[in-house]
Amino acid sequence: MAFACQRNSYLKELVSKVATCVSVANGKFEVTLNDTVLFPEGGGQPDDHGIIGEATVSQVYRRGAEAVHVVDRALEIGSEHRCLVDWKRRFDHMQQHSGQHLLSAILDRKNIETMSWNLGESVSHVELSVGKLSAELVDAVERECNELIRSRQEFTVHYLSKLEAENLKEAKTRGLPDDVVEPIRVIEIQDIDKNMCCGTHVSNLSDVQGVKLLHTESKRGNVCLFFLCGNRIFDRLNSSLDVERKLNKLLSCGTEDFPGTVDKLKATVRLTQKSSKTFLKELGRYEALDQLDNDFIFQHREDADMDYIFAFTNALNADENKHKTEHKVVFVAGGPIKTGGQFVLKAPCDKLAELSAPILEMIGGKGGGKKDQLQGKATSFKQLSKVRDLIASKVVKTEETASQAALNTPEEQASLQEFSNFSYWKVPLPDLPDTTDI
Ligand SMILES: [Zn+2]
């Protein structure tokens, strides 16, 4: 026997008698009724929500010939209750499901078979037996669907025995399930399509209101074609208009000027980023020169990146400055105080051995490098003042002496890029900013 919701898909309420009620997990109960207005999931259509008397129905599923309702309270066996379906949800499902039958029928006329379909929460799709669909074909299918909706063809439900259904040639099916229960329903769209289906459908194509095809995606070599039907088209249009109005204000232009305005903005941003990078590198050089005569060199900028750090250390290492810096401790860091960033610590070997471990601990850092240089990434710069104090405490004011090892020769600088390959690196080096598209 078909359920009341299948005999009349427009039925919104029904008085039903409780046949069974069983306690299940999580304080829920499973209830069967002598008949139901609530559709159990099937045929690609999700289940209904609603109420049975005072009980809220959160799920309905089919078990053989029965619809099992999962409810939040026990219901007395034999008691009668007014059952109400969440009509907004149900009618939405009817529009999407009947729209899918129409869409698949039109695609079928073009020898494109529907392998499966999904009724999603906001958008649905059919998976088709082709590798791709042209935009022209998609436009033509959408136009045809909407022309037929205006033709107001009837949806009719036929009931057949299992044997009759198996012998029926003209009705499409993807195979009857093993636990199929007679009678088997065939949904006919007048002069267009016959399809075996257990779902709830509109009684006339005009209730589908419209079909809007969206985009396609590839799946297992097939194409998934996404679509909206009925009220979902208006919902999507409303949210698109809302976004459009916000963009009108943000960009101070009409909708038709969006592409040109965004192109201009992107070009401006690219130019600004390029200038800002150049300025930051220049700043690194000047700020390094400013510290040449200090006993030790300590620098941090929240907005600095690796380019800035290199510009800073390159300036210290320049031939004309090397004699002032090669025996000094240098700490340069870039990144937010809270989340840290990148750093370079350079010092004569003995001092670096002394300073590395405590500084790494203070900045939550990891890194590697050479005997006179440590480079890496820090997770916080909150204790930078302690780092500075520690370095200051280790520095003995001396006159510059002959070079033991260059602070940062060009060869060493170039090799910084290769550190991430060293086996003793604990973490990969942060990526350098990609400047190729700027
Ligand atoms: Zn169906």
Tell me the per-residue pLDDT of 206-265, one tens digit each, with 9 for 90 and over. Answer: 999 999 999 999 998 999 999 999 999 999 999 999 999 999 999 999 999 999 999 999
Least confident of 188-197, 218-227, 329-338: 188-197
Q: Are residues 181 and 118 in the same domain?
A: yes
Q: How far is the CA of 42 from the centre of ligand 1 (A)?
A: 9
Q: Are residues 277 and 139 in the same domain?
A: no
Q: How far is the CA of 83 from the centre of ligand 1 (A)?
A: 24
Residue 300 and residue 334 in contact, taking contact as beta carbons nearer than 8 Å: yes
Please check whether residue 244 lies inside any domain of the structure.
no
Q: Are residues 101 and 57 in the same domain?
A: no
At 179 the pLDDT is 62
Please check whether residue 434 lies inside any domain of the structure.
no
Q: How far apart are CA 111 and CA 129, in angstroms?
A: 9
At 417 the pLDDT is 45
Q: Are residues 81 and 113 in the same domain?
A: no
Distances 48 to 1, 6, 59 between C-alpha atoms, Å: 19, 12, 7
Q: Are residues 74 and 133 in the same domain?
A: no
Q: Are residues 308 and 406 in the same domain?
A: yes
Q: How far is the CA of 308 from the centre of ligand 1 (A)?
A: 63
At 165 the pLDDT is 77
Write the single-letter amino acid at 312. Answer: F
Least confident of 10-19, 165-174, 429-438: 429-438
Q: Are residues 43 and 107 in the same domain?
A: no
State which H helix or E strand residue 216 sits in.
Answer: strand 211-219
At 161 the pLDDT is 84
Question: In total, how many domains does the chain have?
Answer: 3
At 111 the pLDDT is 95
User: For residue 136, how many other CB atoms are within 10 A of its CB?
Assistant: 8
Q: How far apart are CA 77 and CA 81, in angstroms?
A: 11
At 406 the pLDDT is 44
Q: How far apart are CA 346 and CA 326, in angstroms?
A: 9
User: For residue 428, how many other CB atoms are within 10 A of its CB?
Assistant: 12
Tell me the per-residue pLDDT of 137-192, one tens digit each, with 9 for 90 and over. Answer: 999 999 999 999 999 999 999 998 877 877 776 666 655 556 667 788 899 998 89
**What percent of the chain lies above the pLDDT cut of 70?**
87
Q: How far is the CA of 200 from the centre of ligand 1 (A)?
A: 8
Q: What is the CATH number of the domain that holds 62?
A: 2.40.30.130
**What percent of the chain lies above the pLDDT cut of 90?**
77
Around ion ligand 1, which residues have CB less than 5 A away? 43, 197, 199
Q: Are residues 146 and 51 in the same domain?
A: no
- If you search the block for the tokens 């559709």, which residue do you land on? 39
Q: Are residues 39 and 113 in the same domain?
A: no
Max CA distance (Å), the chain: 105
Please check whether residue 218 lies inside any domain of the structure.
yes
Residue ending a domain, among 85, 116, 141, is: 85
Give me the domain span that covers residue 61.
Answer: 4-85
Distances 351 to 296, 329, 369 between C-alpha atoms, Å: 12, 8, 15
Distances 306 to 220, 313, 320, 335 between C-alpha atoms, Å: 43, 10, 23, 10
Please check whether residue 308 lies inside any domain of the structure.
yes
Residue 432 has pLDDT above 50, yes or no: no
Residue ending a domain, among 39, 69, 85, is: 85
Please check whether residue 436 lies inside any domain of the structure.
no
Q: What is the CATH number of the domain that holds 279?
A: 3.10.310.40
Q: How far is the CA of 190 from the centre of ligand 1 (A)?
A: 15
Q: What are the residues facing 77 on neighbouring strands? A: none
Q: What are the residues facing 369 on neighbouring strands? A: 374
Residue ending a domain, among 45, 60, 85, is: 85
